[in-house]
Structure 1
Amino acid sequence: MSKIDIAVNNKEGASWSDLFSKGNSLKAIILALGVMLHATNVYLATTIMPSIIKEIGGMEYYAWNTTIFVVASVIGSVISANQMVRSGPRKAYQIGILLFSIGTLICTLAPTMPLLLIGRFIQGYGGGLLFALSYAMIRLVFTENLWSRAMALVSGMWGVAAFSGPFLGGIFAEHGHWRWSFGVLLLFCVFILITASIILPKERNDHTITPIPYLKLSLLSLAVLSVSIGSVQKNISENVMGVVIALLFLILLGLAEKKKTIRLLPTGAYKISSALGATYAVMALLTIATSVEIYVPYFAQVLYKFTPLKAGYLTVLIAIGWTLSSILFSGYKGHSAKKIVISGAFLMFIGLTGLSYIAITNTLSPDWNLVLNCICLLAIGAGIGMGWPHLLTKVFSLAPAGEEDLTSSSVTTVQLIATSFGAALAGLVTNVGGITDANTIIGVTNASIYLYSSFATAPLVVIMILILISQVGNFKTN
C-alpha cells in the first residue's frame, strides 16, 4: 500500500457526481473521513512527538509510539471482518470510532510515556478497525459501478492527511500545546460517530464469520515487542538478544501458517526461494527503509533548529515522492518493470546515504541543510514509489489458486508488519547510537548517522535479491 493508491479502473463509467448523488454523498464522506482520521493521526503524532518528549520524557521509547500504534492497527485490521459480521457494519464502525476516541483522550491527558503508549495502542486498534472497515464497506453501501470512485476517494485521504496531520500538529506544537492537536481529533470523532450511526447499514447479508487467528497475531506482536524491549536495554548483547528472540517468534509464526487454518499471508509467502516470498521480502525491506521518517522531525528540530511545523512537513516529502513516482512509473510493462524496481531501490540508497552525509558533516548552513534534506527525503519516497505498482502487480499475478482475496489483502498486512518492525529497529539503532545520551547534540548526531547509514543497507539487499533470486528475475506485468 502506497501512501496514496490510485484507482483507475472504472468500467461502468460512473462519474464523481454519481458518487455524490442519490444519497451516496454522506456514505462516501463518512467512509473517507474514517480513513482520513486514522491517516491524519499518523502524521500528526510523528510531528508532535519531539514536543511530547520535551514535556513528559521517555526518549528511549520514542519509536514505541509508532511500533505499538502500527501493531495495534494490524490487529484491528485483521479482526475487522470478524467484527463486522458479529456486530453488523454500523456497530462495528461505532466500536472503531469509540476505541479511537478513548485512545485519543488518553493521549491528550497522558502525564507519562507509559500512559501515552497505552493510549497509542488503543488508538491504533480503533484506527485499524476504521481503516479496514472503510474499505470493506464500499462493497456494502455502493453499487458496483461506484466502487472504483469510492476506492479512489477513500485512498486519496492519505494525501489529504499528509498535509493536515503535520499542519495540525505543527501549529499546536509551535505554541506549546501539543495536547490540543489530539483534542481536535476528538471533535472529528464525535462528528463521524453521529453521522455513521445514522447512515451506515445495521446488518449485512453475508453472515460467514471469519475466525480470528489469535495465536498468529500473538506471535507477531511478541516478535515486534521483543525488538522494542531489546532496543531500550543498555547492553549490546541484550539488544541483539531482542532481535534473536523476535526471529524465533517469526519462525514459529511461519510454522503456524503451514496449518490449514485462517492465514495472515498466502501460501509461499514465507519462502524467499519462491517468487511470491521474494516479492514480499522486497516490499518489506523497502518499507522498512522508509521507517527513518519517524525520527526526521526530531533530528530536524534538535540538530537543525527547525520549527515543529517545518520539521513535520519534511516527513511528508517521502509520501509526496512515493505518490508522484507511483503515478509516473506505473505505466511501464514487461522487463522494464524489474529495472524500475532496481533503479528505485538504488535511488533510496542514494537518499539514505545523502542523509548520512548531511549528519556526518553537520557544518552546512541552515538553508543548505533544508534543501539537501528535502532532496534526500524526496529521493527515498520516489525510490519506493517507482517500483511499488509493479510489486503489487507481481503479488496479484502470483496469487495461489483459491487465495486470491487473501493475496490482495496481504499487501496491506505486509506493509503494516514491515512498518512495525522498521519502527522497532529504528528505535534499537538510535538507542544504540546514543540518542538518550546526556550530551544531546552529540548523541542525536551519532544516532542519526547510525540510523541513516544502517537503514541504507535495506535497499542494497533488495537489489541483491532481485539480481540473485531467479524466480523474481522476470518482473513482467500484464
Structure 2
Amino acid sequence: MSSIEQTITTKPASVFSLFSPGLLPATLMLGGGVVLYAVESYITATIAPSIVRDIGGLALFSWMTTLFVAAGVLGSISVATRPRGIGLRTVYIAAALIFGAGNLICAIAPVIQVVLAGRAVQGFGAGMLSALGYAFIRFVYPQLLWRKASTLYAAIWGVATVLGPTLGGLFSQSSAWREAFIVLVPLAGLMALSARWLLPRVEDDRLQQKTPILQIALLLAAVLLMSLAGTTEQMSSKIILIAISMVSVVTMLAIERKSANRLLPKGAVMIGRPISRLYLMMFTLMMVLTSDIYIPYFLQTLHGVAPLVSGYLVALVALGWTLAAFLSASFSGKRAGIAIVVGCLLETAATASLILFLARDNPSGDLVLLGPAVVAMFLMGFGVGLGWAHLVAKVIGLVGNSEQDKASAAISTVQSLGGAFGSSLTGVIVNSAGLADPGGIPGSMSAAAWLYGLMALPGLVAVAMSLTLKPASA
C-alpha cells in the first residue's frame, strides 16, 4: 500500500475524501489532466471561427476538431501500448509536455496548416492525460474511492460543457484566440514539473507483448472517417464514410478476438463477458447523449428561444450529469447496480420524450410545452451521470493488474468513439428527415422527431445490457 493510500481513515468515504491532505496532490494532478482535455475540447470549438477569420483556412475548418479527436484516441491508446518498463509517472510528464507543445504550436501558427499540426499534437497529449486519470486510480486511491474518483472525472466533463464555451467566448470577443492557447502552456509545464513530486512512482506490471499496430490503425481510421462524416455536406458521402468506419470497427474487433496481441482487455470483444457489456453500455450512452447538439437549433427554430438562452438551457444536460454523479457517488453493491439501470432508463426515456416536447411548433415559447422539454434535457444528462462512475469502477475491478492500463485507456477510447459515431449519425438523421429540405418549421419538426426517436434506440441496448450486470461484480 502506498503512502497516499494509507491516509484513508475508517470514516465513511465521500467525493470530498479525494481532497484530504494525503490525496490532494494526486487528485489535483489527475483531475487537472482531465480538466485540460475536457475544457480544451470545448474552448477551441468556440474560438475556431475567430481563427479562420484571422489567418484563413475555412476549407480546413472541420479538421481542427477531427484531428484533435483522432489524436486524442491515439493518445489514450498509447498509455496502454507504451514501451515496456516506462512508468505511468513518466508518461504523465511526457503527456503534459506534449499538450503544452501543441498549444504553443497553435498559439504561434501563421497559417491554418500549422494550427492543425498543433491540434494533433495537443489532442495526443490531452488523450494521454485523460487516460492517465483512470490508469492511476488503483495506485493512488484505495478501492473504496475508485467510484469517487470516477465521479469527480464525470463532474469535470459536465462542468467543462459549460465552462469551455464560456471561456472560448471571452477569448473570441476580443479576438484573442492565440492567448486562449498560450495561457495553457505554462500550466502544462507546471504539471509536468510537479508530477515527479506529486504522483507516486509505480512499477510497470503489464504483460510483455508487441504493439497491436493493425488494431490501432483500424480504430484510428474508424474515428477519422466518422469525424469526417460529421462534417461533410453531401449525404451520400456521409453514408459511405459511416459505412466504411463501421466496417473498420467490425474488422478491428474480429482481429482483436483472435489475436494474442490484444489492444483491449481479455473478453472485451465477447458479448458474453461482463466487461464487453460495460464498454458497450458506455458507447451507447455517449451515442445517445450526443443528440443534444441539435437542441439549441430546435429551441430557437421551433420554440422561439433566444440563442443565448438556448445555450444556457442545453447546459442543463451537463448540470444533470454533474448532479447525478455526486448524488450516486456513495452507492455501492446493489444500489450501484440499480443506479446504472435507472440511469440508462432515464436517459433513454428522456431522449424519446423530446419527440413530444421538443418536436413541436411553439413559436411563443409556451411553457406548457417548453417546460417538459427542459426537464427532459436535464434528465438526459442525469441518467448518464447516475451510472457512469459505477461503470468505470466495474471495468477497473474486473481486470487483473497486468491489463489495468488497457482497461483504463479503453474507457477514454470508447467515450470518444461513442461521441464521434453519435455526432455523425445525428447529422445523417436530421438531414435525411428534412432539416434543410424542406427546412423551416415543417423540416425542423420532422428532423427533431426522427432524431430523438432513432437516437433513443441505442439507449435500449444500454438498458438491456444493464439488466445483465450482477452486483457481485461491483
State if a TM-score over 0.5 links the two structures.
yes
Write out aligned runs for 1:18-417 (5 A): 21=21, 25-49=24-48, 58=58, 62=62, 65-83=64-82, 87-108=86-107, 115-137=114-136, 142=140, 151=149, 155=153, 157-158=156-157, 161-196=160-195, 204-206=202-204, 211-231=210-230, 235-272=234-271, 277-294=276-293, 305-307=306-308, 313-328=312-327, 330=331, 333=335, 340-341=342-343, 343-350=345-352, 352-353=354-355, 356-357=358-359, 361=361, 363-365=363-365, 374-388=374-388, 410-417=410-417
Q: Counterparts of 1:292 and 1:38 in 2: how far apart (Å)?
A: 21
Q: Which amino acid aligns with 1:462?
A: G
Q: 2:4 maps to what in 1?
A: none
**C-alpha distance after superposition, 1:117-154 (max 9, x if no partner):** 443322221011122234434555x5859965993696
CA change 1:72–1:362 in 2 (3 A) is farther
* RMSD, aligned α-carbons: 4.8
1:239·1:428 contact (CA, 8 Å) conserved in 2?
Answer: yes
**C-alpha distance after superposition, 1:289-308 (max 9, x if no partner):** 2123456667779995534x
Q: Counterparts of 1:449 and 1:58 in 2: how far apart (Å)?
A: 30
1:77 Cα offset (Å): 1.5
2:42·2:160 contact (CA, 8 Å) conserved in 1?
Answer: yes
Q: How many residues align?
A: 456
1:323 Cα offset (Å): 2.9
1:349·1:460 contact (CA, 8 Å) conserved in 2?
Answer: no
Q: Percent same amino acid at aligned positions?
A: 30
Q: Counterparts of 1:111 and 1:446 in 2: how far apart (Å)?
A: 41
1:337·1:476 contact (CA, 8 Å) conserved in 2?
Answer: no
**C-alpha distance after superposition, 1:63-116 (max 9, x if no partner):** x55444233222212212454855555543332122212322344455766554
Q: 1:459 maps to what in 2?
A: 456
CA change 1:30–1:314 in 2 (3 A) is same
1:231·1:425 contact (CA, 8 Å) conserved in 2?
Answer: yes
Q: Counterparts of 1:311 and 1:108 in 2: how far apart (Å)?
A: 31
2:256·2:262 contact (CA, 8 Å) conserved in 1?
Answer: yes
1:268 Cα offset (Å): 4.6
Q: Counterparts of 2:442 and 2:170 in 1: how far apart (Å)?
A: 26
**C-alpha distance after superposition, 1:252-310 (max 9, x if no partner):** 10121023434333455445576654554343222112123456667779995534xx6
CA change 1:477–1:102 in 2 (3 A) is same
1:90·1:197 contact (CA, 8 Å) conserved in 2?
Answer: yes
CA change 1:235–1:14 in 2 (3 A) is closer
Q: Counterparts of 1:378 and 1:228 in 2: how far apart (Å)?
A: 26
Q: 2:423 maps to what in 1?
A: 423
CA change 1:294–1:401 in 2 (3 A) is same
**C-alpha distance after superposition, 1:39-75 (max 9, x if no partner):** 221232344456557765748954x554442332222
**C-alpha distance after superposition, 1:225-261 (max 9, x if no partner):** 2234445555533332212211221121012102343
Q: Which amino acid aligns with 1:458?
A: M
| Secondary structure in 2 matching 1:258 | helix
Q: Counterparts of 1:150 and 1:463 in 2: how far apart (Å)?
A: 27
1:215 Cα offset (Å): 1.5
1:396·1:407 contact (CA, 8 Å) conserved in 2?
Answer: yes
Q: Which amino acid aligns with 1:349?
A: T
TM-score, normalized by length of structure 2?
Answer: 0.74
1:32·1:153 contact (CA, 8 Å) conserved in 2?
Answer: no
Q: Counterparts of 1:90 and 1:392 in 2: how far apart (Å)?
A: 21
Q: Counterparts of 1:459 and 1:47 in 2: how far apart (Å)?
A: 28
1:315·1:377 contact (CA, 8 Å) conserved in 2?
Answer: yes
1:65·1:120 contact (CA, 8 Å) conserved in 2?
Answer: yes
Q: Counterparts of 2:353 and 2:113 in 1: how far apart (Å)?
A: 34
| Secondary structure in 2 matching 1:253 | helix
Q: Counterparts of 1:253 and 1:421 in 2: how far apart (Å)?
A: 16
Q: Counterparts of 1:368 and 1:343 in 2: how far apart (Å)?
A: 24
1:44·1:168 contact (CA, 8 Å) conserved in 2?
Answer: yes
Q: Counterparts of 2:187 and 2:177 in 1: how far apart (Å)?
A: 17
CA change 1:452–1:414 in 2 (3 A) is farther
Q: Counterparts of 2:314 and 2:325 in 1: how far apart (Å)?
A: 18
1:413 Cα offset (Å): 3.4
Q: Which amino acid aligns with 1:36?
A: V
1:68·1:117 contact (CA, 8 Å) conserved in 2?
Answer: yes
1:72·1:124 contact (CA, 8 Å) conserved in 2?
Answer: yes
Structure 2, unmatched stretches of 5+, are 1-6
Q: Which amino acid aligns with 2:250?
A: I
1:53·1:59 contact (CA, 8 Å) conserved in 2?
Answer: no
Of the structure 1 ranges 319-328 and 104-113, higher mean CA displacement relative to structure 2 is found in 104-113
| Secondary structure in 2 matching 1:249 | helix
CA change 1:362–1:285 in 2 (3 A) is same
CA change 1:256–1:327 in 2 (3 A) is same
Q: Counterparts of 1:443 and 1:474 in 2: how far apart (Å)?
A: 44
Of the structure 1 ranges 323-332 and 90-99, higher mean CA displacement relative to structure 2 is found in 323-332
CA change 1:261–1:226 in 2 (3 A) is same
**C-alpha distance after superposition, 1:355-376 (max 9, x if no partner):** 7516xx3624499998676434
Structure 1, unmatched stretches of 5+, are 1-8
| Secondary structure in 2 matching 1:357 | coil
Q: Counterparts of 2:452 and 2:111 in 1: how far apart (Å)?
A: 30
1:454 Cα offset (Å): 2.5
Q: Which amino acid aligns with 2:381?
A: G
1:346 Cα offset (Å): 3.3
Of the structure 1 ranges 70-79 and 248-257, higher mean CA displacement relative to structure 2 is found in 70-79
Of the structure 1 ranges 115-124 and 414-423, higher mean CA displacement relative to structure 2 is found in 115-124
| Secondary structure in 2 matching 1:462 | helix
1:377 Cα offset (Å): 2.5
CA change 1:306–1:89 in 2 (3 A) is same
Q: Counterparts of 1:380 and 1:90 in 2: how far apart (Å)?
A: 36
Q: Counterparts of 1:232 and 1:328 in 2: how far apart (Å)?
A: 37
1:204 Cα offset (Å): 4.5
Q: 2:3 maps to what in 1?
A: none
